[in-house]
Amino acid sequence: MSLVQSSPLLRKALALDAAACAGMSLLLTTAAGPLAAPLGLPESLLRGAGIILLPCAVLLGLLASRKVLPRLAIYAVIGINLVWIVDSIAILLMGWFAPTGLGIAFVLAQAAAVAIVTELEVIGFRRSSAQAGAVLGADGASLG
């Protein structure tokens, strides 16, 4: 398995992503009903997104706490964030829903926030150094 020694920026970006996911999860799961009408988005879409974000927040928090990470995990985080951004734009362009002006602003703002966090993760990933296939303990024994 290819591992990277995560840079401080990558760990901070992952922690920021975790916090944002947790905050949006809390907002969308608890306030989907009151938000649906002003945003012009279905309550089920908002609540479903909130439910999806909770395990993401937990996983991102776990990754942020690690100094050594599987390269594939970072690719997955970045890839999932990119899919989220594309899907957010698709919600506006494909005519699946009829969001209000506030709803359009909400979707664009959260997509922009995800894009910024993703860019920080990409920069942090580039600053991370490659590791050998296994991590060695203090005694030289393989831990991975």
**Inside any domain, residue 138:** no
Evaluate whether residue 121 is within a structural domain.
Answer: yes
Q: How many helices (H) and strands (E) does the chain have?
A: 4, 3
Assess if residue 137 is contained within a domain. Answer: no
Domain count, the chain: 1
pTM to 2 decimal places? 0.86
Is residue 97, in this structure, part of any structural domain at all? yes
Residue 139 lies in a domain: no
Closest by CA to 8, choosing from 127, 143, 139, is 127
Beta bridge partner(s), residue 70: 3
Asked whether residue 16 is assigned to any structural domain, the reply reads yes
Is 143 a domain residue? no
First to last CA, the chain: 9
Question: Domain span at residue 57?
Answer: 3-130
Model pLDDT for residues 82-123, shown as the tens digit of each residue: 999 999 999 999 999 999 999 999 999 999 999 999 999 999
Q: Per this entry, what is the length of the chain? A: 144
pLDDT-based confidence at residue 141 (cuts at 50, 70, 90): very low
Q: Is residue 144 part of a domain?
A: no
